[in-house]
Structure 1
Amino acid sequence: MVNIATDVWANAETDPDRLAIRSPRTITYGELRRTNQQVAGAIRAAGIAPLDRVLFIAPTIPEFPEVYYGLHAAGVTVITMNTMSTAPEIDYVLEDSGASLVIAWHENAANAEQAAAERNVPFWRIEPGFSFDAEPLTQPHEHDRLDTALILYTSGTTGRPKGAELTAANLVDTVASFKPVLELTEDDRFGTALPLFHVYGQCVCMNTALSLGSSFSTVHPFSPKAMLDVMVQDRLTSMAGVPTMWNAMLHVEGDYTPEDFSALRMASSGGASLPVEVMRAFKERFDCAILEGYGLTETVGAATFNDINREQKTGTVGPPLPGTVVEIRDGEGNVLGPNEAGEVFVKGPTVMKGYWNRPDATAADLRDGWLKTGDIGMLDEDGYLSIVDRVKDLIIRGGYNVYPREVEEVLYEHPEIVEVAVVGVPDPHYGEEIAAVTVLEPGSDATPESIRAWAKERLSAYKVPHLFAFVDALPKGATGKILKRAIDRDELRSLAAEGVRA
């Protein structure tokens, strides 16, 4: 019998006055449990039974864990969604999941309330200082290990989004997997601006920190200066983010001193591949290594990680987490040897139960416990995983395979490039042409010709971009991950026709 709320509440038993939430307001573990009990009591009083689905929409604020662990304590299947979701997107999830209740933070409530009303689903608005007039539920529901405790809908890059069913055991096993590699204790002060409705911020960061008794600082909305200020103010010992966040923090100016960052012992990165140049620059400025990991929504965000107790291999996402096995397979399903690129398959305690009401999709991606990830990677002789790219992002130019990440890694070393995304654009001669959509340093006079000449010294000729677009900002998702699918290929083709090439 398991429940992620049980693990968090255990800290209230041992030390109720210890801080659970440190910023932007303080909440002790005892106070967090009391609010959770009140939320759970209100759920039960509303006639909502264990394993009924409840949709919860809120940003990275202290109220998120106050509601979230209350829902888990009541035993419902929690669904969290992006705070920027439209009414039709929310309507789709309500229909697909058969949710019994919608709860939303007041600033993000309009679309959720509209969708709930159209579906005749009860709606609760959460505001600062919220409370419920219900008998508190004093003990968390006891889940069977395979009960679906959480459904997270994938981004739906092809077709409609699918709900990944994460079990009660998946959630607690994710914490158990990270415990020995992070070594968080009750003395640690963990902070993040990651969205808590996303698997990384919610399950890897919040659940791990609060289950292990650390304090948790939240930043919303993300700004690089706000994140640095909380790091200094709360003397953070551990942070988590995505590559675009680390990159933005590197470009913040201010009267910071090395002493301001002296408490920081660890930074962890996920969500997208971290350019080696960003990792190097972060270490140089903050005297702290970024430890990169790898996971998917379907693995509760957890598969591999650069364990602090093992050799750190820059450019890799580390070895498999405890209990997890990773294989690299070719197109026929054969297991490949060290340093051979193929599709990544994952098996272990964090792999999902399946997709909600999608038996065909489950059978396609999950077989004998092995998850087909859709990522191209390779394992070295020591079992460290390197992600080469997404299968769908592979560019085939004139018969040559080009992995965008490899090209991006090189371009990030250019002194005037802040951010870059490399994508393929249909081309009548080569099949696909390589395009680099680039954000330059303010005042830069770099040109497509100068960048291409610079890149030709570092890349094989067929890997060097021929098409360049300079933009003020790249499209990003809620986690800060660059969204290549949102880059307008038609616009890039127009640039090509106009001769914006090198």
Structure 2
Amino acid sequence: MNLAHHVPDSARTYPDRPALRIEDTTVSYRALDRDSARMAGLLRDRGVKPGDRVALMLPNVPEFAVVYYGVLRAGGIVVPMNPLLKSREVLYYLRDSGARSLFAWHDFADQASAGAGQAGAEATVVRPGAFDELLESASPLDEPTDRHDDDTAVVLYTSGTTGQPKGAELTHANLARNCDIAVGGLFRLTADDVIFGGLPLFHAFGQTCTLNAAVASGACLTLVPRFDAAQALGILDAHGVTVFAGVPTVYGRLLRQPGKEEYDTSRLRVCLAGGAELPVQVLYDFQTAFGCVVLEGYGLSETSPVVCVNTQQAGPRPGSVGIPIPGVRVRVVDDGREVPPGETGEIAVRGHNVMKGYWQRPEETAATIRDGWLYTGDLGRLDQDGYLWIVGRKKDVIIRGGYNVYPREVEDVLYGHPAVADAAVVGIPDPDLGEEVGAAVVLRPGAHATAEDLRAYVKGQVAAYKYPRKVWIADSLPKGPTGKILKKEIVPPAGR
């Protein structure tokens, strides 16, 4: 299950079909195969051997795919990195992974080069035109280097919400099998499909469900380096996008974009939401506005990433994240004991999607993967039919006066208010209760609501101990590269 075989296989079957599209530029499968073979040859000439790590700091541009598959073709291990990292962070990633080579987009060259220099790694600045000349100078490596199913393909760093980022070792089999499920059971992709490529490709969601899924099926991936709602609608129209994958923030922005009705999005047939919890109201509103089914799923970097998903075959259940994908088991546990359906506990996962471990962290691997089960740190419950419902992270539970308050439940209520665009519920230290429930809220453009209005709205829909006593209106909420709200960076205003 060598991921690198996907490119030549599709090139043989669909040589002249578009593999990648960005603005007015199209890259065929024949060209992607040629350039990734040259990239592999370049790495070989530079002394990169099978198992060596090669880092990428590239946005969603065709060069990402060329370098990504070139590294895999040479038998190397890809270390994808956020292009916005600063030199200190670049240094950490390179030292931790042991990557001796870094390919960085020209817009971010200063920080990338500075970090690489401190790490003693070689930094190659990727500029269109100059990069093409560099590839042309290399002798191609036509056949992918043999790698075993359990060989590491990608070291994908977690977001670091529980400390320093850790590198999840994802094998060729992890990623290839997750990709196959996205192609067949989830999206039912064919070479006639056009996939919206707005998810960051340095993240597992973007890699598996857009890049690898497109290449494995011969579909076209239309690349978007930076999401803008108006531009995205234009791409859906002009490129005839049929498959869309995004985080909840993106769905909300598309819904709120003025003039969205003027774009032809009729070819859109299926959407996938993940990366964070999708408010049920947003799901319903999007399906109504765009006439397209939205399937919410659940996963994490350590699971390649998909664990569960709603499917059209099984019947979606809005509010849940669906059922486990084929070959994967999910259970909910409390103190090591599997709890009955309907009860809340920690989500544990077992199957072909579970990572090999954390890169060079045997103790943390052993703490996370026990008896073959990966303990996610997420809280959820399974219903009688096996659908998983996410409640929150263990660390996110607010314990107010001895009562557990799950932020997801309160946030869902807030999102139901017509004035609310974004909401995050957090625990605030309280000398009496231990923690008080707080809510940071961003209003929709032109909408009006006071903190007291929102507090009263929630109070009328949840138990007395759950509603947020402290509510404040914010201009925006801090978000990570995938659009996930970073709750640890939310600080209540003074006096709240």
Which segments of 5 or more consecutive residues in structure 2 lack a partner in the other structure? Answer: none
Cα offset, 1:495, TM superposition: 3.0
Please name the residue that 1:162 is paired with.
166
Corresponding residue number in structure 1 for 2:43: 43
Match of 2:19 in 1: 20
Structure 1 residue runs of 5 or longer lacking an equivalent are 497-502
Amino acid in the other structure paired with 2:83: T
Q: Report the Cα distance in structure 2 between the residues aligned to 1:384 and 1:273, rounded to whole angstroms.
A: 15
Residue 261 of structure 1 aligns to a residue in which SS?
coil
Per-residue CA deviations over 1:440-490 (Å, capped at 9, x if unaligned) read: 1234331122212222221111111110111111111101111111112xx
**How do residues 2-401 of structure 1 correspond to structure 2 at under 5 angstroms?**
2-24=1-23, 25-129=25-129, 130-131=131-132, 132=135, 133-178=137-182, 179-254=184-259, 256-257=261-262, 260-331=264-335, 333-401=336-404
Post-superposition offset of 1:404: 0.4
Which amino acid in structure 2 is aligned with residue 81 of structure 1?
M
Report the Cα offset of residue 187 of structure 1.
1.1
- Code of the residue aligned with 1:80 in structure 2: it is P
Q: State the secondary structure of the residue aligned to 2:33.
A: helix
Report the Cα distance in structure 1 between the residues aligned to 2:447 and 2:178, rounded to whole angstroms.
44
How many Å apart are 1:257 and its aligned residue?
Answer: 4.3
Whole-Å Cα distance in 1 between the matches of residues 397 and 197 of structure 2?
A: 31
Please give the alpha-carbon distance, in whole angstroms, between the structure 2 residues aligned to 1:212 and 1:104: 28
| Percentage of identical aligned residues | 46
Is 1:449 the equivalent of 2:452? yes
The answer to whether the Cα contact below 8 Å between 2:209 and 2:245 also exists between their aligned partners in 1 is no
With the length of structure 1 as denominator, give the TM-score of the two structures.
Answer: 0.96
- 1:56 alignment partner, SS class: strand
Q: Please give the secondary structure, in 1, of the residue aligned with 2:104.
A: strand
Distance, in Å, in 2 between the alignment partners of 1:430 and 1:445 is: 31
CA distance in 2, matches of 1:411, 1:264: 29
> Structure 1 stretch 180-189 or stretch 33-42: which is displaced more?
180-189
The answer on whether the counterparts of 2:18 and 2:26 sit within 8 Å (CA) in structure 1 is yes
Inter-CA distance 227–495: structure 2 relative to 1 (3 Å threshold)? farther
Aligned-partner residue type, residue 11 of structure 2: A
RMSD after superposition: 1.2
State the alpha-carbon separation in 1 of the partners of residues 379 and 74 from structure 2. Answer: 40
| From 398, 412, 427, the counterpart of 2:430 | 427
Q: Is the 8 A contact 2:419 2:444 kept in 1?
A: yes
Structure 1 residue 318 displacement after superposition: 0.7
For 2:225, the aligned partner's letter is H
Q: Does the CA-based 8 Å contact 1:181-1:309 persist in structure 2?
A: no
- Partner amino acid for 2:143? Q
Number of residues of Structure 1 aligned to a counterpart in Structure 2: 490
Q: Show the counterpart of 2:467.
A: 464
TM-score by length of 2: 0.97
> Is the Cα–Cα contact under 8 Å of residues 365 and 373 in structure 1 kept in the other structure?
yes
Letter in 2 for 1:142: D
1:149 is paired with a residue of what secondary structure?
Answer: strand
Secondary structure at 2:338 match in 1 = coil
Higher mean C-alpha deviation, range 181-190 or range 40-49: 181-190
Deviation (angstroms), 1:255: 6.0
> 1:70-93, CA deviations, whole angstroms, 9 ceiling, x for partnerless residues?
111111011011111111111111
Q: Please tell me whether the aligned partners of residues 182 and 307 of structure 1 are also in contact (alpha carbons under 8 angstroms).
A: no
Q: Give the aligned residue type for 1:100.
A: R
Contact 1:153 1:163 in 2 (8 A): yes
Report the Cα distance in structure 1 between the residues aligned to 2:381 and 2:230, rounded to whole angstroms. 36
